[in-house]
Amino acid sequence: MKTKLLMLMLFCLSIGLQQVQALQDVTETYIINPSFEEGDGDIPTYWGFDSAGVFKGWYVSHPAISYNNDEADDTKTGTYIFGIWGNSADYEVSQIIQNLPAGTYLLSCDMTVPTNNMTTQRLFAGNATIGYKAQYFAESSLDTVPGEEYSYAGHEVDGNGGGPLKPLSIILTLDQADSLVIGVRTNGSRTAICDTAVFNKLGGAGWFKIDNFQLSLIEDLDAYYDDMVRAEVAWLDSFDVDLLPLGYAPIIDSVKIQAQTLIDGTETSETILAFVDDVESLVEELGLAATAFETLNNYFLQAQDLMENTDFEGKAELEFGVNEAASLVAAETSLLADFEAAIVVIRQAIRA
């Protein structure tokens, strides 16, 4: 097991080195106050907005419901974050990057949305030439705004007011040097552009906290996407298939073959991103399956100990339950659901 972990660490390190070549961090060159650490002068302040609603590089559409403070958990970067509270309308915090050279860029930030407060919180970027792209925090967004090419980060809306902050990102291309508007938008109960019949019922919904804007030049887009695929394969390699339900081994093998096909081919970015989403869902399921495997194994050991080392009525019923549970997981196609069903059976047999 230690050997496998070492191999995984070395593999991930090699991925990281390749990503350094594919991505060039240009945040400090082009984004002012990217992590909201700078207030008036050299000292961060909680209320550093001027009369025009500008806060150290950032335009703020509604300063009265905006804040810059340290009230976030350890998923923040540095000390301070930026956020809004209150009955928001059509809100924007943004910055104009001037004279950004031609190229393909990755823009990202971290965001948290409190539970039951999702409206249309989204990262956005663009200009009049290339249009605007947006990535919504969650697929439960109440609306999408016309004029934006959009995607979803797919996060759960489970924030507690202080975090956790989760990543959003956009890839966009400039064919020539141009300015670029970046930032975050949201719409609340006083919106003028969304379905007011729905939004008026939301009170203060639309709140968010953000941090850690980053801008990277993607020097080789194909290499960047290849790195994404390799990183997903590395996650799969971190699982010991001998400690998973039997049905996952052929699934993992099939995904690895698909990954190599993507790396060797010229698939579209949409295809690659869909593959990454699918693998991330599979990795989440594998984690649950590994836990179920361990739990079931412990129940089998407990049942074996009861049958071999104790004298009690009901051994026949326990043995029947063990055999039934074993039959559920013995199939070469067994998956998480089969192990979860087996856990229920053997647990009930032990308690009977």
Buried b / exposed e along 55-69 (16+ C-beta atoms within 10 A):
bbebbbbbbebbbbb
Which pLDDT score, from 0 to 100, does residue 14 have? 40
Average confidence (pLDDT) over 5-31: 59
d(CA 108, CA 167): 7
Q: pLDDT band at residue 254, thresholds of 50, 70 and 90?
A: very high
Which pLDDT score, from 0 to 100, does residue 39 have? 65
- Cα 118–124–126 angle (5° rounding)? 160
Q: pLDDT band at residue 316, thresholds of 50, 70 and 90?
A: confident
What pTM value is reported for the model? 0.75
Range in 19-28, 208-217, 280-289 with the lowest mean pLDDT: 19-28
Range in 30-44, 46-60, 259-273 with the lowest mean pLDDT: 46-60
Which pLDDT score, from 0 to 100, does residue 18 have? 43
For residue 330, pLDDT beyond 70: yes
d(CA 282, CA 315): 38
Q: What is the mean pLDDT of the chain?
A: 86
CA-closest candidate to residue 283, choices 265, 264, 256: 256
Range in 29-38, 85-94, 132-141, 213-222 with the lowest mean pLDDT: 85-94
Q: pLDDT band at residue 333, thresholds of 50, 70 and 90?
A: very high
Which pLDDT score, from 0 to 100, does residue 54 have? 66
Average confidence (pLDDT) over 75-99: 89
Q: Which of 86 and 293 is assigned the larger pLDDT?
A: 293
